[in-house]
Amino acid sequence: MIKYLLSLLIFIISLNTYSKVWPSNSTWNQDTSKEFSRWISSEEYSVDIFNNKSSPWYGIETDCADAIVAAQVIYAYEMKVKYTVKLNQSGTALISSDTKIFDHIQDPLNRVKSFIHHIGKTIGTEALARYNSYPIDLKEMRPGDFYISRWMTNGSFIRHAAMIKSILPTGHLVLYSSTTPVKVRELEVREGMPLHIMSGTPWGFKRVQPYIEPNTSQLENYSLNQYKLLRSAGNDSFFPRVVDILKTEEDTLEGNLLRRVKNLCSQLELRQREVISTQKYLELINNRCMNYSEYDEHSTPSRDKSLLNGIKRLLYGWKKIRKSSHSDELSTKLTTGLDSLLRKNDEPAARENLKSLCSIELEIDSNIVSYDLKNFFDLSLKGKISSHPNDSIPKRWGAPGQNTQCKSFY
C-alpha cells in the first residue's frame, strides 16, 4: 500500500512538473518589456541564435513574424514570465505558456521549441500587428521594439517584420529579421531604415504586448504620433524625419554610403552561406533533384533580386552624388570603389578599392577566387547568376558550367 501511494505521489508530481510549457512567476509587464529591450541589445540575441548548433535555441524554424515571437518566448521562458499571444481574430484564439498540450515533452528546451513552432504555424504578421503589439512614441523607440509593414506587389499583399537590435547615434536602426520560407536560418542584418513605408495602422514601429486585453491608455510610451508624421511628411520624408527624431549626432555622406555598402555586403555574405548550406544538403540527398518543398526552401530568387535591386539603388544615388560638389567630401577609396562598380573607372586600383569595401572568397573549380559586388552585379545583368538549388556552385555564382536538368518550380 505504501509503495502504491509513493508511486501515485510521484505520478502526480510528474504531472505538475510537465503540465505547463514553463512555470511562471509573473506576467509580461512594463518592467519585463524594459528588461526584454536590454536582452535584445545584448550578445545573447545574435544573428545565429537559431542556426548555431552550440546555441540552446538551435533548430527553431522562422519566417519574419516567427523570429519576433521566438525572441519574446525565449526571453519569457528564461525569466519565467507568463507569455500569452492571440493567434488570429477569433476571441478564443489565445494560447499561453500555461497550456498543457506539450506536457508529453519532458525536456524543457524542446517543450519551449515546440511551443514556438506551434505558434508559428498559426500566427502571422497580421496577428502580430493587430493583436499583440501597440504603436509607440517615436522618441521612445528602443531595442526590442520592431517595425512591421504591408505593401502591394503584383496585386498581392507582402508583409515583413524586423526586430530593432540597436539604434545608432546617427538615428539609424540595426534591424534583425528572418524571411520566407519558414526554415532554420541565420537572421539577416540591415543598418539604416526599413525598406518599405507603412500604410498606417496597425503597421509601423510597434512594441510587443503579449495579448492581455490591453488598456491602451496604460501602455508605456503608447502613441499615434508616427501616423501623424506620415500624413504630414509624406512617404518620401517619413524615414528621414524618424532619423532626425532619434539621432544624437549628425550623419555624414561617407558614413551613409558605407552603411549602404555594408548592407549589400551582408546580403552577399548571407547568400554565400545559403549556397554552402544547400550544397551540404545536396550531398545528404545524393544530389538528386529537389522536390517543390525542398526547392522552395533552398532556392534564392528573392534573395538574388533583392541584392541586385539594392546595388541598383546604391548606384542610382551615387550617379547623382558623383556629379555634385558633395563628392569632394568623400575618401578616394570610396569614390573610386563605387566608380568601379558603376563602370566609370576600369583602373585595377579602383577595383581593389571596391574589393576592400566588400568581397568574399569562393571556391570555383578547386580555385579560390575573390568575388565582389561588381561580379554579382555584372553577372546578374547578363542573366548568369543561378537561383536554382540543384545547380553547381560555379553556376550559382555565374561562372561557366552545365545547367541542371532538374525542374524549376518558379
Residue 267 has pLDDT above 90, yes or no: yes
Q: Which long-range contacts (CB under 8 A, 24 or more apart) does 197-200 make?
A: 197/149, 197/151, 197/230, 197/235, 197/238, 197/239, 198/147, 198/148, 198/149, 198/150, 198/226, 198/230, 199/149, 199/150, 199/151, 200/227, 200/230
Residue 9 has pLDDT above 60, yes or no: no
User: What was the pLDDT predicted at 213?
Assistant: 60
Of 9-13, 346-350, 358-362, least confident by mean pLDDT is 9-13
User: What was the pLDDT predicted at 113?
Assistant: 98
378 DSSP assignment = H
Amino acid at 215: N
User: What was the pLDDT predicted at 18?
Assistant: 53
pLDDT tens, 92-129?
689 999 999 999 999 999 999 999 999 999 999 999 99
pLDDT tens, 148-159?
999 988 888 999
Task: Determine what percent of the chain is predicted with pLDDT higher than 70.
Answer: 94
Residue 405 has pLDDT above 90, yes or no: yes
Residue 216 has pLDDT above 80, yes or no: no
- Cα→Cα distances 308→56, 76, 226, 392, Å: 35, 39, 31, 21
- Cα→Cα distances 221→38, 63, 129, 209, Å: 17, 28, 17, 12
User: What was the pLDDT predicted at 214?
Assistant: 60
Average pLDDT of the chain, as a whole number = 93
Instruction: Identify the band that residue 8 occupies on the pLDDT scale cut at 50, 70 and 90.
Output: very low
Instruction: Identify the band that residue 11 occupies on the pLDDT scale cut at 50, 70 and 90.
Output: very low
Instruction: Identify the band that residue 378 occupies on the pLDDT scale cut at 50, 70 and 90.
Output: very high
Task: Say how far apart CA 165 and CA 162 lie, in whole Å.
Answer: 9
User: What was the pLDDT predicted at 222?
Assistant: 95
Residue 360 has pLDDT above 50, yes or no: yes
Residue bearing the bigger pLDDT, 89 or 389:
389
pLDDT tens, 57-101?
999 999 999 999 999 999 999 999 999 999 988 766 899 999 999
- The number of C-alpha atoms within 13 Å of 357 and in the hemisphere containing its C-beta is 30
User: What was the pLDDT predicted at 15?
Assistant: 45
Instruction: Identify the band that residue 401 occupies on the pLDDT scale cut at 50, 70 and 90.
Output: confident
User: What was the pLDDT predicted at 365?
Assistant: 86
State the average pLDDT over residues 20-35: 94
User: What was the pLDDT predicted at 178?
Assistant: 96
Order across the sheet with 173-177: list the strands: 133-135, 204-208, 146-153, 156-167, 173-177, 188-192
User: What was the pLDDT predicted at 89?
Assistant: 82
| Cell reading at 193 | 531604415
Instruction: Identify the band that residue 137 occupies on the pLDDT scale cut at 50, 70 and 90.
Output: very high
Residue 4 has pLDDT above 60, yes or no: no
pLDDT tens, 170-212?
999 999 999 989 999 999 999 999 999 999 999 999 999 877 6
User: What was the pLDDT predicted at 93?
Assistant: 85
Residues 6+ apart with CB under 8 A from 242: 138, 171, 193, 205, 226, 229
Task: Determine what percent of the chain is predicted with pLDDT higher than 90.
Answer: 87
